[in-house]
Amino acid sequence: MAFQQQYTCRYYLAAFCFIVLISMLSACDAWVGGTSPTQASTASFPKPDSSPKGPGGLTATVGSSNCSFKSAAPVSASGWKVYKDSRFPFKLAVPPGWRAGSFVDDSGNDYIVQVFPPGSTTPVGQAGLTNQEHFSVTVVLVGPTSTYANDPNWSPEAGGITISGVKTTLYDRTTPDCGEVNRGATVDLKHHHFTFFLTSIPTKAKVDIALFQSTLQSFIYTQP
């Protein structure tokens, strides 16, 4: 009888060990299979600092540009056509093939002379403000005046430029994608504030900058 009880105990002990072993093997299989929900969740969401997107899913823009378009030396304006303004007492030389015209912008605050390159069909006026290649001379009629000096997107060029006998600073700016090249200068002549502006594209920027500087140097303002 004692032998039978001992045999029964050993039988149940062996069965219990077998069940425990099966449970352990099942747990190992589940772990190796990679079904951990924590791991899957971590893999599906990148860290914030690794994302190139800004707020709202918009791609963040770089504050400064890596491209540079240095100003070339002005060319001779000898023989160029002269534009003489009909409203204000100033004149300037226009590069060969370029055309000039004036208008008052929609706000009524600015009087603008626009100069467009050969082949351009953009009409002088409000539509020309978005043209990718042109010069402009703006006279403030009413309202506040401003300069490029207070805008961190613009950088002063060494040497400056003389406009109608007044030495001033020439500023440059290039968009982060290098798609737009700008030059700008401001000057106060008599009782008027003038802003000179160039916008160009990379393939034409070097030539346009040289022509723009020549136009600025040819600018003459006379007291009426």
User: In this predicted model, what pLDDT tens digit does every residue of 156-209 receive, in sequence order?
Assistant: 998 899 999 999 999 999 988 889 999 999 999 999 999 999 999 999 999 999
Q: Which residues partner with 138 through β-bridges?
A: 112, 195
Structural contact between residues 160 and 166, judged by C-beta atoms closer than 8 angstroms: no
Are the C-beta atoms of residues 215 and 100 closer than 8 Å to each other? no
Instruction: Give the chain's largest Cα–Cα span.
Output: 136
User: Can you tell me the distance from the alpha carbon of 43 to that of 62, in angstroms, rounded to the nearest whole number?
Assistant: 28
pLDDT of res. 24:
52
| Among 67, 112, 84, residue whose Cα is nearest residue 206 | 67
* pLDDT attached to residue 224: 65
Instruction: Please give the average per-residue pLDDT across 73-95, as a whole number.
Output: 96
Structure tokens belonging to residue 96: 């060969």
* Domain segments of the chain as ranges: 2-45, 81-221
Contact, 141 vs 110, CB < 8 A?
yes
> What pLDDT band is residue 15 in, cutting at 50, 70 and 90?
low
**Residue tagged 């099966």 (tokens):** 22
CATH topology for the 81-221 domain: Protein Transport Mog1p; Chain A (3.40.1000)
Mean of the per-residue pLDDT values of the chain = 79
pTM: 0.70
